[in-house]
Structure 1
Amino acid sequence: MTIDTVRGEPTDRRREQRGWYFYDWACSVYSTSVLTVFLGPYLTSVAESAADADGFVHPLGIPVRAGSFFAYAVSLSVIVAVLVMPVVGAAADRTGRKKPLLGAAAYVGAAATAGMFFLDGDRYLLGGLLLVVANAAQSVAMMLYNSYLPQIAPPEERDAVSSRGWAFGYAAGSLVLVANLVLYTAHDTFGLTESAAVRVCLASAGLWWGAFTLVPLRRLRDRRSRPEEATAPGLRQLTATVRDMRRHPLTLAFLLAYLVYNDGIQTVISQASVYGSEELGLGQSTLIGAVLLVQVLAVAGALAMGRLARTYGAKRTILGSLVAWTVTLGAGFFLPAGAPLWFFVLAAGIGLVLGGSQALSRSLFSHLVPPGKEAEYFSAYELSDRGMSWLGPLLFGITYQLTGSYRDAILSLVAFFVIGFTLLARVPVRRAISDAGNPVPERI
Structure 2
Amino acid sequence: MSHAPGGVADLRPLEHEKDQKAWYWYDWANSAYTTTIATVFFGPYFISLAENAVGENGRFDVGPFSMPPGSLFFWLITVSTILSAILLPPLGAYVDRTANKKGLLAFFAWTGAAFASLIFFATGDNWPLAAVGIVMGNLCFGAAGVINDSILPLISDEANRDRVSSRGWAFGYLGGGLLLVLNLAVYLGRDAIGLDEGLAARLCMLSAALWWAGFTLIPFLKLSNYPPIEVAPVEGNALARSFGQLASTLKDMKNYPMALTFLLAYLFFNDGIQTVIASASVFGAEELGHPQEILIATILMVQFVAFFGALLFGRLAARQGAKRTILMGLVIWMVIVTVGLFLPEKNVPLFLIMGAAIGVVLGGTQALARSYFSLLIPRGKEAEYFSFYHAMDRGTSWFGTATFAIVLAITDSYRPALFALIFFFVVGGLLLTRVDTERGIREAGNAVPEVI
TM-score for the superposition, normalised by structure 2: 0.93
Displacement, 1:56?
A: 1.4
Matched residue SS, 1:135 = helix
Q: Matched residues in 2 for 1:229 and 1:88: separation?
A: 17
Asked if 1 retains the 8 angstrom alpha-carbon contact of 2:118 and 2:130, the reply is no
Matches of 1:238 and 1:296, distance apart in 2: 39
- Is the CA contact 1:50–1:57 (under 8 Å) kept in the aligned structure 2? no
1:372 partner letter: G
Show the counterpart of 2:368: 360
Corresponding residue of 1:348: 356
2:394 aligned counterpart, secondary structure:
coil
- Any conservation in 2 of the 1:77–1:136 contact (CA below 8 Å)? yes
Q: How does 1:140-159 map to 2 (within 5 A)?
A: 140-159=143-162
1:250-269 to 2 correspondences below 5 Å = 250-269=258-277
Q: Is the 8 A contact 2:255 2:443 kept in 1?
A: no
Aligned partners of 2:92, 2:428: CA distance in 1, in Å? 25
Deviations 1:27-78 (A, max 9, x none): 0100001001000111111111111575213579974421111111111011
Which of 271, 277, 280 in structure 1 is aligned with 2:288?
Answer: 280
CA distance in structure 1 between the partners assigned to 2:63 and 2:219 by the alignment: 40
Q: Aligned to 2:435, what secondary structure does the other structure show? A: coil
Aligned to 2:170: 167
Secondary structure of 1:148 counterpart: helix
Q: Percent identity?
A: 47
Seen in structure 2, the aligned counterparts of structure 1 residues 188 and 150 have a Cα distance that, compared at 3 Å, is same
The answer to whether the aligner puts 1:305 opposite 2:313 as a matched pair is yes
Of the candidates 57, 82, 85, which is equivalent to residue 79 of structure 1?
A: 82
The separation in 1 between residues aligned to 2:207 and 2:34, in whole angstroms, is 13
Residues 196 and 308 of structure 1: CA distance in aligned 2, closer, same or farther (over 3 Å): same
Separation in 1 of the partners of 2:136 and 2:113?
10
- Give, in angstroms, the shift of residue 429 of structure 1: 0.7
Give unpaired runs (5+ residues) of structure 1: none
The question of whether the paired residues in 1 share the 8 Å contact of 2:93 and 2:242 is answered with no
Q: Using a 3 Å threshold, how does the CA distance of structure 1 residues 248 and 145 change in structure 2: closer, same or farther?
A: same
- CA distances 1:317-353 after superposition (whole Å, capped 9, x unpaired): 0110000110111111111111121111100000011
Distance 1:435 1:78, change over 3 A: same
User: How many Å separate the matches in 2 of 1:62 and 1:99?
Assistant: 44
Q: 1:431 to 1:20 in 2, by over 3 A?
A: same
Q: Counterpart in 2 of 1:424?
A: 432
Q: Distance in 2 between matches of 1:60 and 1:291?
A: 36
1:159 CA displacement: 0.6
CA deviation string 1:206-262 (max 9, x = no partner): 000000000011122222213675545999976654433222111100111111101
Q: Which residue of 1 aligns with 2:102?
A: 99
- Read off the aligned partner of 1:263 and give its amino acid letter: D
Q: Which of 443, 446, 449 is the aligned partner of 1:435?
A: 443
Distance in 1, matches of 2:178 and 2:225, equals 31
Query: In structure 1, how many angstroms separate the alpha carbons of the residues matched to 2:435 and 2:258?
Result: 7
Question: Displacement of 1:79 after TM fit?
Answer: 1.3
> Shift of the alpha carbon at 1:99?
2.0
| Cα displacement string for residues 102-133 of structure 1 (whole angstroms, at most 9, x for unaligned residues) | 11111111111122111210011111111100
1:215 paired residue number: 218
RMSD: 2.0
Cα contact 1:142–1:382 (8 A) shared by 2? yes
- Could you state the TM-score of these two structures normalised by the residue count of structure 1? 0.95
Q: Give the deviation of 1:385 after TM superposition.
A: 1.3
* 2:377 partner SS: coil
CA contact (8 A) 1:82 1:234 kept: no
Cα distance, 1:176 vs structure 2 = 0.8
Query: Are positions 1:181 and 2:184 aligned together?
Result: yes
**Map of 1:407 onto structure 2:** 415
Contact 1:86 1:237 in 2 (8 A): no
Query: What amino acid is aligned across from residue 74 of structure 2 in structure 1?
Result: A
CA 1:318–1:283: 2 relative to 1, 3 Å: same
Structure 2 equivalent of residue 12 of structure 1: 15
With over 3 angstroms needed to count, the CA separation of the structure-2 counterparts of 1:238 and 1:123, relative to structure 1, is: farther
- Provide the rounded CA distance (Å) in 1 between the counterparts of 2:112 and 2:225: 22
Q: 2:252 aligns with which of 244, 262, 270?
A: 244
* Cα distance change of structure 1 residues 277 and 72 upon mapping to structure 2, 3 Å threshold: same
Measure how far apart 1:87 and its partner are: 1.5
Deviates more, 1:50-59 or 1:280-289: 50-59
Q: Is the 8 A contact 2:109 2:140 kept in 1?
A: yes
What's the secondary structure of 2:106's corresponding residue?
helix
Confirm or deny: 8 A CA contact 2:336 2:358 kept in the other structure: yes
Provide the C-alpha distance between the structure 2 equivalents of 1:233 and 1:381, rounded to a whole number of angstroms: 21
**Of 235-244 and 46-55, the range deviating more from structure 2:** 235-244
Residue 217 to residue 59, structure 1, CA distance change in 2 (3 Å)? farther
Residue identity matched to 2:19: E
Is residue 206 of structure 2 the alignment partner of residue 203 of structure 1? yes
Secondary structure of the residue aligned to 1:95 is coil
- Where does residue 46 of structure 2 map in the other structure? 43
Aligned residue number for residue 193 of structure 2: 190
Q: Are the aligned partners of 2:375 and 2:441 in contact in 1 as well (CA < 8 Å)? A: yes
Partners in 2 of 1:170 and 1:59 — Cα distance?
38
Q: Distance in 2 between matches of 1:332 and 1:213?
A: 36
The structure 2 residue matched to 1:289, chosen from 263, 285, 297, is 297
1:34 and 2:37 correspond = yes
- C-alpha contact (below 8 Å) 2:94/2:242 kept by paired residues: no
Alpha-carbon separation, structure 2, partners of 1:97 and 1:228: 19
Cα distance change on mapping 1:149 and 1:130 into 2, 3 Å: same
**Range with greater deviation from structure 2 (384-393 or 428-437):** 384-393
Number of residue pairs matched by the alignment: 439
Structure 1 residue identity aligned to 2:71? S
CA distance in 2 between counterparts of 1:159 and 1:130 reads: 33
Q: Which runs of 5+ in 2 are unaligned?
A: none
Distance in 2 of aligned mates of 1:383 and 1:236: 20
CA distance in 2, matches of 1:437, 1:428: 15
**2:404 is the alignment partner of 1:396:** yes
The answer (yes or no) to whether the contact 1:113–1:206 under 8 Å persists in 2 is yes
Cα 1:71/1:237, change in 2 over 3 Å: farther
Tell whether the 8 Å contact from 2:234 to 2:241 is kept in structure 1 after alignment.
Answer: no
The amino acid of 1:112's aligned partner reads F
Q: Which letter does structure 2 place at the counterpart of 1:358? A: Q
